């Protein structure tokens, strides 16, 4: 989808960080707006022949560094502001930013674009000093400094939360889920994505996709590689998010991907095939949804596990609803489809569909599966009368990767 946007001066240019230092522009390095010239015209001395055999006077040199933005003595500056500077010799130019106490602020320097970016949001209501130093080399030197003051702490904030936490272990089909306390305007979503970075070990291609204005998921191109390490970071503290709202804080999550455990169900054969790390470890009979309440065909993941529960549909269907104790229930859709033990249908499993849309297995196989699965393990059902609706569960892998990438605002 193509979204037109107004470019904003505070926009962060990339999702990854670029190491470096800070550069500033002010004028001539002497606090004066006029050029500072060095050297002068030395009058040549005659050689006694009566001719003016003067040597050319040396070319004047101009200090070549300056702070472009924020403007000198600017106030109300956003906490994630970029420092822009000029330099004719950026490779030999350094930038430092210090706070009111004189402590240096950590940041990254892009020498190609001549931009310094803070590692994290600056403190609110604080005065900062920027100093750009150009090493004297072939006349390309000079020093420039400037000060600015950040905006007051905003009263309108957007909280960001992660469904997953540090140290968790999840299945290979688990998406990374980020939620916002307020809808993010479409014109700001590309900026948000650039500030959300995912690092997988080993490296794996992937993309963010917007599920709604308040929720964004990340999935790899294919299922996560077994036993991967995944680290993701969301840097939204101080970031403008529209209508006077700003991101409240940053967050990081460090998690683990477990072994590969993939379930495949065929309506044609009424069998489930279970593979662990690519090898078939079990084939078991199932009973799917009958014609009036078909199971969904598509790729889902285990979202919730309950060893013992009660299915109660009497609230939504007082006439035909039921209330039944269930063992080894594993939710795979929001609409109420589960993998679960169904001892009452064991004689039908592998032969005919009799469920209300769930994947029925025997009591013994229900216990066997329950002891081995975890949140994020994928299950793909095929050949039923109904296709899985996107969003009915964590359906991120139910579409091709090319379709998934269309949900991103980074083009």
Which of 28, 217, 356, 358 is the catalytic position? 358
Q: Are residues 241 and 274 in the same domain?
A: no
Indicate whether 12 belongs to any domain.
no
| Residue where one domain finishes, among candidates 150, 166, 186 | 150
Residue 73 domain boundaries:
66-150
Q: Are residues 133 and 222 in the same domain?
A: no
Q: Are residues 242 and 273 in the same domain?
A: no
Q: Are residues 237 and 344 in the same domain?
A: no
Tell me the two tokens of residue 215: 């929720």
From the list 345, 257, 245, 270, the residue with the least C-alpha distance to 301 is 257
- The model's pTM is 0.80
| Residue where one domain finishes, among candidates 207, 222, 257 | 257
Indicate whether 191 belongs to any domain.
yes
Q: Are residues 195 and 228 in the same domain?
A: yes
For residue 147, the model assigns a pLDDT of 97
Indicate whether 132 belongs to any domain.
yes
Q: Which residues pair with 272 in a beta bridge?
A: 265, 284
Q: Are residues 336 and 349 in the same domain?
A: yes
For residue 139, the model assigns a pLDDT of 54
Which of 28, 217, 340, 356 is the catalytic position? 340
Q: Are residues 266 and 376 in the same domain?
A: yes
Can you give the length of the chain in residues? 411
Q: Are residues 225 and 282 in the same domain?
A: no
Whole-number Å distance between alpha carbons of 399 and 194: 23
Q: Are residues 161 and 134 in the same domain?
A: no
Strand-strand pairing, 142-150 and 74-77: parallel
Indicate whether 51 belongs to any domain.
no
Annotate 128-189 with DSSP letters as a single string: EEEEEEE--STT--EEEEEEEEEPPPPSSEE-EEESS-TT-EE-TTPPEEEEESSPPPGGGH
Q: Are residues 300 and 356 in the same domain?
A: yes
Q: What is the CATH number of the domain that holds 183?
A: 2.60.40.3710
From the list 80, 81, 77, 116, the residue with the least C-alpha distance to 95 is 116
Q: Are residues 213 and 278 in the same domain?
A: no
Q: What is the CATH number of the domain that holds 129?
A: 2.60.40.3780
Indicate whether 299 belongs to any domain.
yes
Q: What is the CATH number of the domain that holds 310?
A: 2.40.440.10
| Residue where one domain finishes, among candidates 98, 121, 150 | 150
Indicate whether 337 belongs to any domain.
yes
> Is 340 in the active site?
yes
Q: Who contacts 380 (Cβ-Cβ below 8 Å, separation ≥6)?
A: 262, 263, 264, 265, 298, 299, 300
For residue 131, the model assigns a pLDDT of 96
Provide the number of structural domains found in the chain: 3
For residue 5, the model assigns a pLDDT of 40
Q: Are residues 333 and 267 in the same domain?
A: yes
Tell me the two tokens of residue 354: 């009799």
> Is 217 in the active site?
no
Indicate whether 29 belongs to any domain.
no
Strand-strand pairing, 160-162 and 176-180: antiparallel
For each of the chain's 411 residues, which pLDDT tens digit applies?
A: 444 343 344 433 333 333 333 333 333 333 343 333 233 333 334 444 444 444 555 444 445 889 999 999 999 999 999 999 999 888 889 999 999 999 999 999 999 999 999 999 999 999 999 999 987 555 556 899 999 999 999 999 999 999 999 999 999 999 999 999 999 999 999 999 999 999 999 999 999 999 999 999 999 999 999 999 999 999 999 999 999 999 999 999 999 999 999 999 999 999 999 999 999 999 999 999 999 999 999 999 999 999 999 998 888 888 877 889 999 999 999 999 999 999 999 999 999 999 999 999 999 999 999 999 999 999 999 999 999 999 999 999 999 999 999 999 998
Indicate whether 31 belongs to any domain.
no
Q: Who contacts 102 (Cβ-Cβ below 8 Å, separation ≥6)?
A: none
Strand-strand pairing, 250-257 and 229-235: antiparallel
């Amino acid at each position: 989808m193509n979204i037109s946007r107004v470019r904003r001066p505070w926009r962060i240019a990339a999702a990854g960080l670029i190491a470096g230092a800070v550069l500033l522009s002010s004028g001539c390095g002497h606090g004066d707006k006029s050029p500072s010239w060095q050297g002068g015209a030395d009058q040549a001395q005659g050689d006694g022949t009566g001719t003016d055999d003067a040597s050319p006077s040396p070319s004047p040199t101009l200090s070549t560094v300056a702070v472009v933005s924020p403007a000198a003595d600017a106030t109300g500056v956003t906490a994630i502001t970029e420092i822009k500077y000029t330099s004719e010799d950026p490779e030999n130019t350094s930038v430092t930013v210090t706070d009111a106490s004189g402590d240096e602020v950590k940041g990254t320097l892009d020498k190609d674009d001549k931009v310094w970016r803070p590692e994290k949001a600056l403190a609110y209501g604080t005065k900062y000093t920027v100093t750009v130093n150009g090493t004297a080399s072939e006349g390309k030197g000079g020093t420039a400094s400037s000060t600015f003051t950040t905006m007051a702490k905003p009263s309108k904030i957007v909280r960001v939360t992660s469904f997953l936490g540090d140290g968790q272990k999840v299945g290979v089909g688990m998406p990374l889920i980020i939620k916002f306390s307020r809808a993010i305007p479409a014109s700001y979503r590309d900026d948000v994505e650039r500030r959300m970075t995912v690092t997988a070990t080993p490296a794996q291609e992937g993309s963010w996709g917007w599920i709604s204005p308040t929720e964004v998921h990340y999935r790899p191109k294919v299922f996560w590689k077994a036993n991967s390490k995944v680290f993701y970071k969301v840097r939204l503290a101080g970031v403008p998010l529209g209508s006077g709202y700003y991101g409240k804080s940053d967050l990081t999550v460090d998690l683990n991907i477990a072994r590969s455990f993939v379930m495949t169900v065929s309506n044609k054969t009424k069998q489930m095939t279970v593979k662990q790390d690519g090898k078939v470890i079990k084939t078991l009979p199932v009973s799917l949804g009958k014609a009036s309440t078909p199971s969904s065909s598509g790729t889902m993941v285990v979202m919730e596990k309950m060893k013992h529960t009660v299915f109660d549909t009497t609230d939504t269907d007082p006439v035909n609803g039921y209330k039944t104790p269930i063992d080894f229930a594993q939710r795979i859709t929001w609409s109420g489809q589960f993998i679960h033990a169904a001892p009452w249908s064991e004689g039908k499993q592998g032969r005919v569909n009799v469920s209300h849309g769930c994947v029925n297995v025997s009591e013994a196989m229900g216990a066997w599966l329950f002891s081995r699965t975890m949140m994020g393990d994928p299950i793909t059902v095929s050949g039923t009368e109904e296709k899985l609706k996107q969003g009915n569960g964590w359906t991120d892998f139910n579409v091709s990767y090319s379709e998934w990438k269309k949900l991103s605002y980074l083009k």
